[in-house]
Amino acid sequence: MSTGILNYQGIGPRLAAQIIDGIILLILYFIVGGLMFGSFTFQVYGDQAYSFMAVYFLLTFLYFTILEGISGATVGKSLVKIKVVREDGSMCSFGTALIRNILRIVDALPFLYILGMVLIARSDKKQRLGDRLAKTVVVKSGQVPMMPPPPPPTYAPATSQTSSYSKFCISCGAELKQDTTFCGRCGTRQ
């Protein structure tokens, strides 16, 4: 897809999508805990807690990576009508989604995505670190990149030779000099 003007999405829509995804992941948290420990009101410590958190973080990572790699949007992004694309407007791939989501850990520092929000606010393309390294942007869904307007046409200055040709034959369309009465090509009187 050719480069155009993309409608980059900043902190507000991305935060709304993150909240929706957070609710989905919270439900997933209880489902995984219930499946691993037989109850939705589980309390685990030690090695069980480590194994549970490892499984949960892996599922969270896969949730973002697979959905963004397939469609460019998680459930939250789809509901907010935003999506991840490459900087040129083409679809996000698994590779770019993988890079973007590995760096989600850094963007989340020191807490609550503070670093990511600062980087988004300071970027002209509204990119967090993961976006910058993966060369992705978050845009409005369904947006067809608008092509910049074409440059205005440039005209060659009129010369004395071309300015004397200002009319055409009414019969054959041949270009005629201004003072011509008959067409040199077909002989029709003008």
pTM of the model: 0.71
**pLDDT value at residue 168:** 80
**pLDDT value at residue 38:** 87
**What pLDDT digit, counting tens, does each position of 141-182 carry?**
976 555 556 677 665 555 555 555 568 888 777 888 888 888
**pLDDT value at residue 173:** 79
C-alpha 129: how far from its chain's center?
Answer: 16
Q: In percent, how much of the chain has pLDDT > 70?
A: 85
Q: By mean pLDDT, which of 18-27, 54-63, 141-150, 154-163 is the weakest?
A: 154-163
**What pLDDT digit, counting tens, does each position of 76-128 carry?**
999 999 999 999 999 999 999 999 999 999 999 998 899 999 999 999 999 99
C-alpha 13: how far from its chain's center?
Answer: 14
Q: Give the whole-angstrom CA distance, residue 126 versus residue 118.
A: 10
The residue-averaged pLDDT of 135-146 equals 81
93 phi and psi, to 5 degrees?
A: -110, 175
* 1: confidence class by pLDDT, cuts 50, 70, 90: very low
Average pLDDT, the chain: 87
**pLDDT value at residue 2:** 41
Residue 174 · residue 183 · CB < 8 Å: yes
Q: Give the whole-angstrom CA distance, residue 56 versus residue 34.
A: 12
